[in-house]
Amino acid sequence: MKVAVLAVQGAFIEHEKALERLGVETVELRKAEDVEKDFDGLVLPGGESTVQTHLLKELCMLESLKKKIEEGIPVLATCAGLILLAQNVSNDEKRCFSTLPVTVKRNAYGRQLGSFYYEGEIEGIGRFPMEFIRAPYIESVGDGVKVLAEVEGKIVGVSFRNQIAFSFHPELTGNDAIHKKLVEMIQSR
Ligand code: GLN
């Protein structure tokens, strides 16, 4: 099994480490040719969604990756990655993959609550340490989207077909349960 990690910007190395702890081989996606490599799953890391969207277009990776997502490759997206997947962003007109029928709000917790920690419940996983960094939250979900986690009434985790996405950074906590979930999605595909 091989999992590709989008590595144009952001916190991708931590995701690679988490996957390696689970014994999964990783491959970094940095340029158009990398998308042609053989891989069974995809991680979209946190970082800056505007920068990532710009680079994906610039490096001609957006359409080929979108096709893979639409064809059903299992995807784990965190923070900025969630924004890349979202069909709607209420406070930004830019769109990236648009494969996840949710409306997200960028930097939704404002300045004072820019970064915070919360231990919450994730459906199918249990209690999980959630590290939020200038995080988005999900304002509404479309048909077929399952809500997996909420923090104080705001949706922070969802699944839809082959995509799971979270507002926070599971790769920073040393708890690999969410990455394990991705591995299970790949195994059962
Ligand atoms: N604030 C970032 C954005 O809007 C996301 C932050 C993150 O990924 N930690 O793209």
pLDDT single digits (tens) 121-147? 999 999 999 999 999 999 999 999 999
pLDDT level of residue 110 (50, 70, 90 thresholds): confident
pLDDT single digits (tens) 51-80? 999 999 999 999 999 999 999 999 999 999
What size, in residues, is the chain?
A: 189
The reply to whether 79 belongs to the active site is yes
Rounded Cα distance between 79 and 3, Å, is 19
Under 8 Å between Cβ of 148 and 122: yes
Q: Which residue of the set 79, 96, 131, 179 is catalytic?
A: 79
Is-above-0.95 flag for pTM? Answer: yes
pLDDT single digits (tens) 5-28? 999 999 999 999 999 999 999 999
74 lines ligand 1 (CB under 6 A): no
pLDDT single digits (tens) 37-55? 999 999 999 999 999 999 9
What's residue 147's pLDDT?
98
The reply to whether 96 belongs to the active site is no
46 lines ligand 1 (CB under 6 A): yes
Kindly state the tokens that stand for 133. Answer: 């960094």
Closest ligand 1 atom to 51 CA: 10
Rounded Cα distance between 32 and 55, Å, is 11
Rounded Cα distance between 178 and 169, Å, is 10
Under 8 Å between Cβ of 1 and 41: yes
170 lines ligand 1 (CB under 6 A): no
Locate all alpha helices (DSSP H) within the chain, ordered by sequence.
Answer: 12-21, 49-58, 62-70, 80-85, 177-187
